[in-house]
Amino acid sequence: MSFETEIYSIDDVEFGAFHDSLVYGLDMVRSVVHKFDTKGKLLAHNRFQDGINEIDLLVLGGVYPINKDSIFVIESGYDNLLLLGGDLKIKESWNIRKVTGSNIGIGGSNTQIVNFEYILNEPHITLVASDRNFRTSEKAFFENSFLAVKVNLNTGEFKPLFRYPIESPYREHLFWDSESPYILYFESRYFVTFPMDPNIYIFREGTEDYEVIRYSGKLNKSGGRGVAFGMHQREFLDNHYLEVFHNQNDYYLISNSLMQKAGHKYFVRVARRAINDKNFDYKDLNTFMIKHPGQEYIIQIIDLEKGEKGKIREYKLPKAYKNFLFIDKDGKIYFSRKNDKSEGYFVDVVSWNGDILE
């Protein structure tokens, strides 16, 4: 799929309204939302930083389509939530901190809308969020902050959800600017994974208990090594960023949907593999970015069914791919290419041989 974008680039695409034959893309830095058909033809776009909006916008952080005329968007710079119509114009907006009257942050290292639902005819939205009363460089943040928040958009009432798991390396090490989880909601369960943590955690509302699926594969390192709490960000970026983000740890990416095949449900994610220690001789971040070694990506397919729970299948991805974006009802996977923005934005649709899951 080749996407038309006119003068604006695409940072990400969202297939949440694929059943409506619509695909949404966003340019996070320029605050642009695009709408495409399934052939990549541009149907509409809206750049919000054109001076005519009723609210301040800085950086877009995620798109969550409900249907073709209701699309939620997070604006992560000022903690705003926008509701767009089919023409991508703003229908309604909320500032999460103002509407809840609390120091809630939705602009961490990963901004994400997890779920939208009506409860007793009241609209509730669940967002990846954190408690701004704690500094993200301190151990107290990972001991006390919540991972998500469910907000009643009519009343502003909210419920903090979940804590950093005891098993998580985030309780023991600081991983600057990777503190936010990725959360997949499916059948009343929240599947939680973190950028620097190889485990998968399964939460339910109303309980502090959770399940842990420990990584049992062979293609990744064990990971989970960071720096000491309290380290200033400048020191981290100057002296530790490369070893933490590219050498010591694999980097786990978001899983947007479950794969359902032959009566089984599979959690699927992609991991960027750490660089081999012997080849890691970059002295500074600028040199690394210019002479990037081209890290490998692997896809992990984890069985969630009883009797097979935790069984993992892993495959190296072709060099052209860095993550998957969507799984359709037939099990086809939509892969994000390592796109050269000067040439456009492309997604490949890949059919799988079902025998690999037997």
Residues 178-232: tens digit of each pLDDT:
999 999 999 999 999 999 999 999 999 999 999 999 988 888 766 678 999 999 9
pLDDT score recorded for residue 347 = 86
124 or 32, higher pLDDT: 124
pLDDT score recorded for residue 49 = 64
Residues 35-84: tens digit of each pLDDT:
888 888 888 888 776 555 555 666 788 888 888 889 999 887 788 899 99
Instruction: Say if strands 12-14 and 2-3 run parallel, antiparallel, or are unpaired.
Output: unpaired
Instruction: Say if strands 146-152 and 113-119 run parallel, antiparallel, or are unpaired.
Output: unpaired
Residues 12-31: tens digit of each pLDDT:
777 766 666 788 888 777 77
Chain center to CA of 131: 19
pTM of the predicted structure, to 2 decimals: 0.91
Mapping DSSP to helix (H, G, I), strand (E, B) and coil, where does residue 34 land? strand
pLDDT(247) > 80: yes
Residue 64, number of CB atoms within 10 A of its CB: 21
160-164, 191-195, 289-293: least confident range: 289-293
pLDDT score recorded for residue 109 = 83
User: Which distant-in-sequence residues (6+ apart) come within 8 Å of 192 by Cβ?
Assistant: 147, 162, 165, 181, 182, 183, 184, 200, 201, 202, 203
355 or 164, higher pLDDT: 164
pLDDT score recorded for residue 149 = 96
Average pLDDT over residues 333-357: 75
